[in-house]
Amino acid sequence: MQAPPTMNANPTLRGDYAKAAADCSVEQDWSAYTPGEHALFRRLYERQSKLVARYACPEWIEAIGRLDAGHGIPRFDAINKSLAKATAWSIVAVPGLIPDAPFFTHLANRRFPVTVWLRTPEEFDYIVEPDVFHDFFGHVPLLYDRVYADHLCEYGKGGLKAMRLDAIAMLARLYWYTIEFGLMQTPSGVRAYGAGLLSSGGELAYCVDDPKPRRRPFALERILRTEYRIDRYQDCYFVIDSFAQLMRDTAPDFTPLYARLRDLPALDPSAP
Ligand code: PHE
Ligand code: CO
């Protein structure tokens, strides 16, 4: 699972922020990972690999093959060589969740912040903060998709704009229901593209197979108004047809939308 950008200021985060640069980046000290950490990463990777063929969207499946990351915690600089060629994105190491301004600035400049630390073995099934497994396995493969990569850059610019317009709470819901928990309609059925789903041992099957949650067609205004829970499986998912649709539907200027939606009541994700 991944807390949204708006929660970044939480002072109880467990990463080591003391060594971070002004843009919140740190060095990935790859040689400091222990054999136990690489083994835990491999175990997480193997569990998820059994699920993704059935539940992940085709773009994610196409990209994971290029990453060759099943051997252990990857070296970010090696990833950056192939990612630069594919979509001109890069990944930057961070101590954990970072504040909104540097987060959006990284995205707007085609840099994705990836947490350096790995969860403990006790957190194999569930973790509240994003770790290197969530960030890497969930987010990085889709950065190889051109349309997704361009959309995420636009989202970053939109985040900087939403900060000026005091609309971060609304825009964070969009991130939540797309980048973290988004579903996509494909010829073989509904599939996951949200990173919080792709990196989850339980919710990845649940979001596709379970009859309980709602699966609504992507609807921008509804999403901007829909609250979310960060501590359990989602009650409601939004389904896009393609990343092209996501790009198209989020392209208009949100300024009038924010003004109109701001005073409307928020929507309950479990409402029918
Ligand atoms: N079009 C949005 C705006 O004007 C920016 C944005 C793009 C937001 C893509 C999210 C995703 O604010
Ligand atoms: Co995430």
Beta-sheet pairing, 189-192 with 214-217: unpaired
Per-residue pLDDT tens digits for 30-80:
999 999 999 999 999 999 999 999 999 999 999 998 887 889 999 999 999
Which has more confidence, 256 or 8? 256
Higher pLDDT among residues 182 and 67, named by residue: 182
pLDDT band at 3 (very low <50, low <70, confident <90, very high): very low
Stretch (H or E) spanning 192: strand 189-192
* Mean pLDDT in residue range 79-88: 96
Q: Report which ligand 1 atom has the smallest distance to the Cα of 253.
A: 4
For residue 192, give the nearest of 132, 131, 137 by alpha carbon. Answer: 137
Pocket test for ligand 1, best of 153, 160, 161, 166 (most atoms within 8 A of CB): 161
Q: List, for residues 152-178, the tens digit of each pLDDT value.
A: 999 999 999 999 999 999 999 999 999
pTM given for the model? 0.94
pLDDT digits over 101-136, tens only? 999 999 999 999 999 999 999 999 888 889 999 999
d(CA 243, CA 9): 30
Residue 261, pLDDT above cutoff 90: yes
* pLDDT for 83 beyond 60: yes
Helices (H), the chain: 35-55, 58-67, 76-87, 100-108, 132-133, 146-164, 168-175, 195-198, 203-209, 220-225, 243-249, 255-261
pLDDT given for residue 16 in this prediction: 85
pLDDT at residue 10 in the model: 53
Q: Are 118 and 37 in contact (CB under 8 A)?
A: yes
pLDDT tens, position by position, 228-258: 998 899 999 999 999 999 999 999 999 999 9
**pLDDT value, residue 272:** 85
Q: Output b/e per residue, 34-50; b: 16+ Cβ within 10 A.
A: eeebeebbeebbeebee
Confidence tier at 6 by pLDDT (50, 70, 90): very low
Question: Ligand 1 centre and the CA of 236: distance in Å?
Answer: 22
- What single letter denotes the amino acid at residue 45? Y
Nearest CA to ligand 1 atom 5: 158
The tokens of 52 are what?
A: 């993704």
Task: Report the nearest-CA residue for atom 11 of ligand 1.
Answer: 155
Task: Look at 128 and 220; give whichever has higher pLDDT.
Answer: 220
Q: What is the pLDDT of residue 1?
A: 44
Look at residues 64, 252, 225 and name the one whose alpha carbon lies nearest to residue 141: 64
Choice from 254, 258, 260, 262 to test ligand 1 binding pocket (greatest atom count within 8 A of CB): 254
Report whether 55 contacts 48 (CB < 8 A): no
Specify the ligand 1 atom closest to the Cα of 151. 9
Confidence of residue 5 (pLDDT cuts 50, 70, 90): very low
